[in-house]
């Protein structure tokens, strides 16, 4: 028994549809008839119905894997949201760095705010290097300030994906020296959340990082 024509169309591969159109033009056949002929030749002794059923099962298995993968991703997002979203840490910090040119003279900016209205700003030159060096030095500066203030429980915001990703496991060999220092400081601050933000949500640290070289 032949499978329904809509299933033949649905489970035909792109290359088979292309071949069917070529045969239809050459032999003056309806395209669906040509496609059925192409798939029947592909099926061989197993028969067209068996070929379509095998492809149906393969597609269903692929769909199940995709659904499971999406469910795992959603579960991870939910866990992350439960840990971090809507939870304001006792201490918050923002950092930014710049290099002019890149690489060139580095300057850094940062803000540290505490639960009782404490507030500290950082704006200074930071040697020579790339923009990533500057960003990391800015992160280290706000972490040093947090440790000096005895901060416990800290959310740190920055607009450098390079630095945030590196701290969260990217582990660039070029940034290893900075990362070792920053991780050592993190361990002194208790629970710490590193959060990437777009540049327009990091305006004060950005402005402070421009000061020395402005």
pLDDT on residue 178: 95
The alpha carbon torsion through 205, 208, 210, 212 (nearest 10 deg) reads -150
Q: What is the number of residues in the chain?
A: 214
Chain segment 124-180, per-residue pLDDT in tens: 999 999 999 999 999 999 999 999 999 988 999 999 999 999 998 888 888 999 999
Q: What proportion of the chain, given as a percentage, has pLDDT over 70? A: 92
Residue 112 pLDDT exceeds 70: yes
Span 75-95, average pLDDT: 70
Highest mean pLDDT among 55-69, 79-93, 98-112: 98-112
- Strands 91-100 and 104-113: what pairing? antiparallel
Span 81-92, average pLDDT: 64
CA distance 22 to 50: 25
pLDDT on residue 2: 63
Residue 91 pLDDT exceeds 70: yes
Q: Is 154 helix (H, G, I), strand (E, B) or coil?
A: strand
CA distance 85 to 66: 27
CA distance 201 to 203: 6
Tokens of 39: 């798939």
Q: Angle at Cα 9 formed by Cα 7 and Cα 10, nearest 5°?
A: 60
Using pLDDT thresholds of 50, 70 and 90, give the confidence band for residue 18: very high
């Amino acid at each position: 028994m032949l499978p329904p024509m809509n299933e033949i169309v649905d489970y035909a591969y792109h290359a088979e549809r292309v071949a069917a159109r070529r045969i239809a033009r050459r032999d003056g056949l309806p395209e669906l008839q040509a496609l059925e002929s192409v798939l029947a030749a592909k099926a061989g002794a197993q028969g067209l119905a068996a070929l379509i059923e095998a492809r149906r099962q393969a597609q269903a298995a692929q769909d199940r894997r995709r659904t499971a993968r999406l469910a795992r991703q959603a579960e991870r997002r939910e866990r992350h949201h439960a840990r971090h979203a809507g939870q304001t840490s006792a201490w918050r910090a923002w950092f930014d760095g710049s290099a002019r040119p890149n690489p060139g003279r580095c300057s850094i900016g940062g803000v540290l705010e505490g639960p009782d209205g404490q507030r500290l700003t950082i704006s200074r030159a930071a040697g020579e290097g790339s923009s990533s060096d500057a960003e990391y030095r800015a992160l280290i500066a706000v972490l040093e300030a947090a440790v000096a203030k005895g901060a416990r429980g800290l959310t740190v915001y920055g607009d450098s994906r390079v630095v945030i990703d590196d701290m969260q496991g990217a582990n660039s060999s070029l940034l290893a020296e900075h990362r070792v220092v920053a991780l050592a400081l993190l361990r002194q601050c208790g629970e710490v959340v590193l959060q990437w933000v777009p540049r327009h949500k990091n305006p004060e640290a950005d402005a402070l990082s421009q000061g020395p070289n402005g």
